[in-house]
């Protein structure tokens, strides 16, 4: 639920008055790949957001899709999405910034650890830490921060910014091979393995777009043509904890003759809490009105809170709340993008 609420803030949507028909190929795409029902497609045509949970094979996963009509053309939506810092501006996004190429620590100067993060890091040890980190990161913090010093908070902030910057730089050079292996608990978790397993498991929707799938999976090798890459960090209140994350955003045009005009992915490279892996897929589809877009957003996440005792019950609760959170967010921010397009 946390990541669903977090990533859905990317959508920034607008309602359209009245009822309009979508092209047949767009409706067929939504029915075939996302199993939208006739009533859900009717809601979409009438300007309402429609949201549905999708089946997954791993009990730790939640997958939810949402669609809505947006009152700007696909190219304008894609253009605004590239400015991710402005695009994600919302009260839940406490801090955010994009890394340059090559990344510099100054790119993360706006990031500050909250009281909970500082408290968790103070007691952080390998295999015993409430913040998801690699062994190297945990040992680096332990060696660099004297928690009895009056400068402890400032030192911890500096080191954490350095860790995120180093992670961004290594990912740009080596891709998934540079992602962390979390060793904050007894059983290590290899982020690259989690991502591959999640993306390839049903519903393997990213494979519907081979060039984008290859770009995301083999980055920085085999980059797709005309594709925009943005690496950004954020600090977001998703409740009950604030999450610090590092994300690779990819935006690319789709020229396969189908209804999708642009596709974008948001691949989590690091998350301080909850998420073993997460991927968002945004699709901009043709609408009957060339000045508007049918926007489809799909998110699937593996959450550590869904494993273990009562995992099945937790999953049902999180999935239900995730659907409500996505629908509420879509409805609440519908007017955002057209206003920004006019003001640009």
- Residue spans of the domains in the chain: they are 2-343
How much is the pLDDT for 218?
95
Packing angle, helices 191-200 and 210-218, rounded to 10:
170
Q: What angle do CA 287, 290, 291 make, to 5 degrees?
A: 105
Using the structure block, give the residue that is written with the tokens 């999976």: 217
> What is the rounded CA–CA span in Å between residue 130 and residue 148?
20
pLDDT at residue 324 in the model: 74
pTM greater than 0.75 (yes/no): yes
Q: How far apart are CA 213 and CA 193, in angstroms?
A: 16
Q: Report the C-alpha gap between 53 and 35 in whole angstroms.
A: 10
Distance CA 22, CA 29 (A): 11
- Residue found under tokens 């910034």: 97
Write down the pLDDT at residue 221.
94
**Structure confidence at residue 306 (pLDDT):** 58
Nearest to 31 by CA among 86, 135, 23: 23
pLDDT at 9: 33
Q: What is the pLDDT of residue 37?
A: 95
Per-residue pLDDT, 176: 97
What is residue 10's predicted lDDT score, i.e. its pLDDT?
A: 34
pLDDT beneath 50, residues of the chain? 1-21, 309-311, 313, 333
Structure tokens at 109: 């100067």
Specify the residue for token string 């409500």: 324
Q: Can you read off the two tokens belonging to residue 117?
A: 């993060």
Q: What is residue 66's three-state secondary structure?
A: strand
């Amino acid at each position: 639920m946390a990541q669903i609420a977090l990533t859905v803030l990317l959508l920034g949507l607008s309602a359209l008055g009245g009822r309009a028909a979508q092209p047949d190929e767009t409706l067929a795409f939504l029915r075939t790949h996302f199993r939208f029902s006739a009533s859900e497609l009717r809601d979409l045509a009438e300007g309402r957001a429609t949201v549905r949970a999708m089946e997954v094979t791993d009990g730790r996963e939640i997958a939810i899709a949402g669609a809505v009509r947006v009152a700007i053309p696909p190219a304008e939506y894609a253009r605004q999405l590239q400015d991710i810092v402005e695009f994600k501006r919302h009260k839940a996004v406490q801090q955010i910034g994009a890394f340059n190429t090559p990344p510099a620590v100054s790119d993360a100067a706006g990031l500050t650890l909250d009281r909970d993060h500082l408290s968790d890091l103070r007691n952080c040890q390998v295999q015993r830490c409430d913040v998801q980190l690699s062994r190297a990161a945990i040992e680096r913090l332990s060696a660099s921060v004297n928690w009895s010093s009056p400068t402890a908070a400032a030192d911890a902030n500096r080191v954490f910014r350095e860790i995120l910057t180093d992670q961004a730089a290594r990912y740009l050079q080596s891709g998934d091979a540079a992602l962390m292996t979390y060793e904050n608990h007894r059983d290590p978790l290899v982020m690259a393995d989690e991502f591959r397993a999640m993306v390839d498991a049903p519903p393997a929707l990213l494979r519907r777009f081979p060039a984008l799938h290859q770009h995301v999976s083999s980055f920085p090798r085999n980059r797709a043509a005309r594709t925009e890459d943005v690496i950004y960090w954020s600090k977001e209140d998703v409740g009950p904890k604030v999450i610090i994350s590092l994300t690779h955003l990819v935006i690319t045009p789709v020229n396969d003759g189908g209804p999708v005009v642009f596709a974008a992915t948001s691949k989590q490279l690091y998350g301080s809490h909850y998420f073993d892996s997460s991927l968002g897929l945004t699709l901009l589809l043709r609408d009957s009105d060339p000045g508007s877009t049918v926007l489809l957003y799909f998110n699937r996440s593996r959450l550590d809170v869904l494993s273990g005792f009562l995992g099945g019950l937790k999953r049902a609760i999180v999935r239900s709340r995730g659907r409500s959170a996505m629908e509420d967010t879509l409805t609440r921010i519908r007017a955002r993008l057209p206003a920004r397009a006019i003001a640009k």
